[in-house]
Every structure is written in structure tokens, then in C-alpha cells.
Structure 1
Amino acid sequence: MTSPELQAILAAVPAGFADPAADYRAVRATMAPFHDQPVSDATDVDMLELGGVPCGRYRRRGRGTGPGYLLHVHGGAFVSCPLAVYHFYGEMILSALERTVILPDYRLAPEHPWPAAGDDCLAAYRGLLETGVEPGEVVVLGESCGGGLALGALLRARDEGLPMPAGFVSLTGWFDLSMRGAVDGPDPFLSVDWVRNRGRDYTAGAVALDDPRVSPALAAPEALAGLPPLYLQVGQYDTVAPGALELARRATLAGVAVEMLGWPGMPQGWHGLLNAGVPEARAAWRDIRAFVDRRLPAHL
């Protein structure tokens, strides 16, 4: 049974939040109020460029942060929530995982269609390594559409000969934009056709939704070889969960170390409700921290 805190939030989600008929402008208007939250005085936020991509950096003010770096690719359905309204998520990750957090401000569709966002994610990862940070000091994270963008960037990084990070964490990531095998259910944040339409906003007809370049869950197993250890969290009611399950299956066949954790009763993106005091979000971040602490050094 879900907590009263989560039940109250889900009950307040507006009807039609994931209306398949909504265009990208409506999506932006609907999603912005959920994300534009203040950052506390306890967090230092500064901007830097990595690989030519503007990025936010989040560190604790007045006290140290654990070693290593968390490069997080944020969500927003490809079309909404630029970094200006996502600083709260960087602070939330910092609070939960106690490592320096970096969020690339990747370009949004449809003004910048595929492969712009993926290019920016790859450039930010490459740029971070070019500062002298060792790959073993980095865990890459991605939430919602950012999960697929981040994983796609790592596959391209591997193909370019870049070293892999210490690990990859997916927070209900989108790994199959064709939504093969997905069905509409009680998740108020997503519907099958809504996700497909956001995929079309991103791809702009340049590639099919089932192309592995935008849907890495549909890559042949051998094409996933060489990825870092994957830690995937999905919710029972998360509309995009079938894509994560398929990614886990194929990556395992490729010899990639995969940990997958399914959460009963959870919808898409419940991790983002940590600041609202949702206990399921708190528990999910505890598990993520255990993975990150195993993958990153305790001392540099």
C-alpha cells in the first residue's frame, strides 16, 4: 500500500496531465509548476561549461562533499524543464547521495531535435573527463527521458573509445520510445501515446521511434557490451517500465552487470518527490546511495 503522502500527491495531479493530444507547449505549461522549486541556502550552485555545454554544479556550502561526481541527465519529456527550473533536482541528489552533482543544460526539442540533446550529454561527459576527472570517479544518472539520453550517450562514448564511468543509475528511465509492450494503467504522469508523441517531438521524423539510437532497450545484446554496471529502478505502475525490463534482459545477455529494483505501487518519477516527504522516495534514494557508495571511492 502506498503512503498517505504519496496518495495525496497523486490525487492532486490534474486530470489530463498526460493527455496524448497535448502538444509540446501544453506539456511545458503543465510540467513547469512541478519543477520550478527553490534551492536552499545550504547549497552552492554555480555554472560551468563542459564540452561547450552549460552545466549546473551543486555542492554543500560550508562543508565538504563526498568524493566523486554524479553526472545527472534530467527529465522533462525532451521538450520541457530546462536547467533554470531544475536546480532543485540537483540539490535533491546532492542531499541524498552526498557527492558533487553536475546537470547538463541540454538543448530541448522541438526547437533542437535529435540528436541535439544526446550530443550535449556526450559532450558534457567528455568535457568532465577532459578536466582531469577519472572515469572511476563518476557515476552517470538519468531520470525519465534523461535515462535514455544518458545511456545513449554512454554507448556513443564507448564507440568513440572513451572510458566508461563507474556506474549508471536509471530513475524510471525511458529506454523504448516505441513503447513496445506498454499499456496504459494507473500511472497519472504518463500514457503510452503521450510518451510516443514526446518521442516524435524529439526525433522529428529523422529516425524511427524503435531505432536503438533513441531506444537503447531495442539494441541487439552485443551492441550493449562494454557498458558500466547498471542500476535500474522502476515502479509497478510506471508506464515505461517494460523498456527498462527489456534493457535489463538484453544487457545481461551482453555480460553487463545489471541490478534492477521494482517498487510496488510506484508511478513514473516518484524519486522527485523526496522533498515532499514521500517515504517511498526516501527509501529509493537510500538504495541508490548504497549502489553509488559501492561504485565510487570512499577517499580520493
Structure 2
Amino acid sequence: MTRSQLDSVSELLQNSPLDLGGDVEKMRRVFDEMLGSAPLPDDVRTRTTELGGVPAVEVRAGAAVAASGTVLYFHGGAYAIGSAASSVGLVSEIARRTAATALTVDYRLAPEHPFPAAVGDALAAYRALLDRGVPAGSVAVTGESAGGGLALALLLAIRDAGLPQPSSATVMSPWTDLTLSGATMTTRADADPAVTRQALETRAADYLAGADPRTALASPLHADLRGLPPLLIQVGGREILLDDALRLAARAARADVPVSLRTFPGAPHVFQGFAAFADEAAQALDEVAAFITSHAQPEG
């Protein structure tokens, strides 16, 4: 039954109007309409806020009155589309399962704001949490797709700035290699219903604006990963980005980073966003929450 559900998710993505490499203004509208069309559960509470001058949306869900930790979240969209508001559905599922306050960040997008603007915003948001007195050990950094790559870039920037690392990082279907050198860019091309190499080439050019695609903060796969916190990587078996996740796990292990890799056969890109009707997606988010809570240190 689970594989049938994942096949239905893949069919939905295959037939969606979203073209990740299409006209950026049009695709931003399509993306937000797609993700904003489903009503949020009644227990989800949101408010707009800012972190270090960067817009964000605070998300809480469930019956818990007092939050347990903080999830700092970065949405996907190939660095050119997506928004904090459009990520609330997925973020609320993590917030409910962890009883944490989640903050999803509206980092600046390309091509208007190319690399390293998004990394600067991510670091500013993290610094703002520390400046508010939030202990680093109570923060879990999380992201999906390009947001997963940005989450990893943030960890590198935190390390290089001499700041304390968060308790953990979780990346779902992360885009970690803007050189697009993974073998699954070809071997999974016919299987992936959501992402194409051509689309990623377009968006990588927008984001990099001439920068070297092997630059560590743009492509964390090519970085020295030493000193990063425990890392959970989830990826679907249908993805052209499968190799981005597999190679990241191997490099993290070689850098002595505690790393857990979880692959989901038959699952498409960021399938976790379909937890409402796909058992495998709900299970994946349960694992994300268990990982976050197992590493988070209580505040105070």
C-alpha cells in the first residue's frame, strides 16, 4: 500500500504545473499556490516575525503550551522560488512532532539576490537566535532541497565564524552539488517526476551569478565538513539528487561527523510534504522528529 501511495505522489508531481526551471516570477506564483492550496490543520498557529532583519514565519502546532526547543527551517525552491509562508504546511508537521517553536526563514532569492545572499541571511537569522539568549544546543537546523543545501552552508558559516553549533541538522532531499556531477543526474532522469537537470542548470546559473559552483558555501558537498553537528539525511529513490545525498553522507562520515542516512525506495523529491496521505512520508517525519529531540538540549 505504501508504494502505491508514493506512486500517487509521483503522479501528482509529474502532472503539476510547476516547472522548476521556468519563468521565475510565474513559477513563484505557481509554487505558492500549489503549497498554499491545502488548508492548515486547526492546531497550527503562525505569526510573521524577523530574525536579524530577515523575515520569517513562526510556526507552532499541537496542544503544547510551552515550546520545547527551536527548529530553524529553510525552504526549498532551487534558491529562486518558494517562501517561508509556502513551507508552513511541512514545517508545522515537524513542529507538532517535536513540540518545538519552528521558524521558517524568508531568505533572499536569486536571480535578484545571488550567492552568497541566502547564506548571509541564514547566518543572520541564527545569530539573532543566539542574541536572544536561545542556547545553540536547543536549536535544530532543518531544510529541504535547496533549503537543505543552505542549512549545510549555514553550519559551515557558523563554524567559520567561531559560533557554537546547533544540536543537529536534518536535510531532506538536499541539493548539495551545484556542479551537478552526481551519476543519478542521468540514471534517475526518467524516474524523477519533479526535478530535471535542465531546471537545476538554469537555477544554479541564477544563484551563482558567475561564482565557482565548487565553492563550499554554494556546494557543501565539496566542503571540509569537519566540526559539524550530528546530521540526518533523507532522500527518495526516484530522485536525480540521490547522489547528492549519498555522497554527502560518505563525506560527512570521512570527516568524523555523526551522520545517519535514510533512503526511501520509490519516493520522489521532498515526499515528506505529503504526510497527510502517504504513510512513508509520515514515517519519515516521525524519524526527523525523533532525531531532533534525541539531540536537542533543554533550554535553561
TM-score by length of 2: 0.90
**Matching residue of 1:48:** 49
- Segments of 4+ in structure 1 off by > 6 A? none
Distance 1:188 1:65 in 2: 40
Shift of 1:20: 7.6
Shift in CA distance, 293/268, structure 1 to aligned 2, threshold 3 Å? same
Cα contact 1:144–1:269 (8 A) shared by 2 = yes
Provide, for residues 99-137 of structure 1, a one-character-per-residue CA deviation record: whole Å limited to 9, x for no partner.
111111111111111111111111101111111011110
Deviation at 1:232, TM superposition (A): 0.6
Change (3 A) 1:298 1:154: closer
Range with bigger deviation, 76-85 or 187-196: 76-85
Instruction: Please state if 1:215 is matched with 2:222.
Output: no
- Worse-matched range after superposition: 74-83 or 25-34: 25-34
Say how many residue pairs are matched. Answer: 295
CA distance in 2, matches of 1:110, 1:255: 35
Q: Is the 8 A contact 1:35 1:81 kept in 2?
A: no
Counterpart amino acid of residue 260 in structure 1: L
Structure 1 position 122 matched with structure 2 position 108: no
Q: Does residue 5 of the first structure (1) align with residue 37 of the second (2)?
A: no
Match of 1:202 in 2: 207
Judged with a 3 Å threshold, the aligned counterparts in structure 2 of structure 1 residues 269 and 162 are, in CA distance, closer, same or farther, namely same
CA contact (8 A) 1:172 1:268 kept: yes
Change (3 A) 1:179 1:297: same
- Using the TM superposition, name which of 26-35 and 280-289 deviates more: 26-35
User: Matched residue of 2:233: which SS?
Assistant: strand
Identity of aligned residues (%): 36
Q: Tell me whether 1:154 sits opposite 2:155 in the alignment.
A: yes
Residue 19 of structure 1 deviates from its aligned partner by 5.4
Q: CA deviation at 1:89?
A: 2.6
Q: Helix, strand or coil: the match of 1:120?
A: helix
Contact 1:17 1:189 in 2 (8 A): no
- Mapping of residues 1-300 of structure 1, within 5 Å: 2-15=2-15, 22-36=22-36, 37-60=38-61, 63-181=64-182, 182-183=185-186, 184-205=189-210, 207-219=211-223, 223-275=224-276, 277-297=277-297
TM-score w.r.t. length of structure 1: 0.90
The answer to whether the 8 Å contact 2:167/2:297 transfers is no
CA–CA distance in 2 between the matches of 1:49 and 1:144?
23
Tell me the SS of whatever aligns to 1:227.
coil
Q: Aligned AA for 1:53?
A: V
Taking a change above 3 Å as real, the CA distance of residues 14 and 264 of structure 1, as seen in their structure-2 partners, is closer
**3-state SS, counterpart of residue 108 of structure 1:** coil
CA 1:77–1:161 in 2, change beyond 3 Å: closer, same or farther? same
Shift of 1:188: 0.6
| SS of aligned partner of 2:8 | helix
CA distance in 1, matches of 2:17, 2:251: 32
Q: Distance in 1 between matches of 2:241 and 2:249?
A: 13
* Post-superposition offset of 1:212: 2.1
Cα separation, partners in 2 of 1:149 and 1:239, compared to 1, 3 Å: same
CA RMSD of aligned residues (A): 2.1
Alpha-carbon contact 2:111-2:206 (below 8 Å) kept: yes
Inter-partner Cα distance in structure 1 for 2:88 and 2:173? 19
What is the rounded CA distance, in whole Å, between the counterparts of 1:52 and 1:114 in structure 2? 18
Secondary structure of the structure 2 residue equivalent to 1:67: coil
Q: Which deviates further from its counterpart, 16-25 or 266-275? A: 16-25
Structure 1: distance between partners of 2:202 and 2:273: 23
2:68–2:98 CA contact under 8 A, matched in 1 = no
- Unaligned runs of 5+ residues in structure 2 are none
SS in structure 2 opposite 1:225? coil
Offset at residue 299 of structure 1 (A): 7.4
Separation in structure 1 between the aligned mates of residue 273 and residue 283 of structure 2, nearest angstrom: 12
| Matched-pair contact (CA < 8 Å) for 2:18–2:30 | no
Q: Deviations over 1:215-261 (max 9, x none)?
A: 11012xxx211110111111111111211222221221111111111
